Amino acid sequence: DAGITQSPRYKITETGRQVTLMCHQTWSHSYMFWYRQDLGHGLRLIYYSAAADITDKGEVPDGYVVSRSKTENFPLTLESATRSQTSVYFCASRGVWENTEAFFGQGTRLTVV
């Protein structure tokens, strides 16, 4: 299917466990982003990537790790999950031209207990 997909849609994990959220896009977009959405904070950027093997920190990167070995995939890993990382996570992608819009995945609701 064309588009941008995130998996899983819902995840419950325990404090201290490692968890990886997957993001896959089929457009070969150069830019990919991870945001977290929390009540009262809107969407905050965790990490972003301008191309394969190029990643950079966003506003709230602590506790997260990303990789981008292939253009179409941009997984987000919580190395040791904490309750403060309970959130809804959105992946987005965007092409290089300045007037192209960013497309968002459906979001992953992560609960850390």
Q: Considering only the stretches 10-18, 28-36, 61-69, 70-78, report the one whose residues sit in contact with other proteins under the rule CB under 8 A.
A: 28-36
Contacts for 54 with CB less than 8 Å, ≥ 6 apart: 68
Q: Is 66 in the site for other proteins (CB under 8 A)?
A: no
Q: Apex CA 16: angle with CA 52 and CA 20, to 5°? A: 25
Q: Which helix (H) or strand (E) holds 64?
A: strand 64-66
Bridge partners (DSSP) listed for residue 10: 109
Residue 76 CB, shortest distance to other proteins, in Å, is 15
Selected binder of other proteins within 5, 20, 52, 58 (CB under 8 A): 58
Nearest CA to 35 among 102, 74, 89, 93?
Answer: 89
Q: Considering only the stretches 12-20, 35-43, 64-72, 73-81, report the one whose residues sit in contact with other proteins under the rule CB under 8 A.
A: 35-43
Q: Is 53 in the site for other proteins (CB under 8 A)?
A: no
Three-class secondary structure of residue 84 per DSSP: helix
| Binding-site ranges for other proteins (CB under 8 A) | 31, 33, 35, 40-45, 48, 50, 56, 58, 88, 90, 92, 94, 98-99, 101-102, 104, 106-107
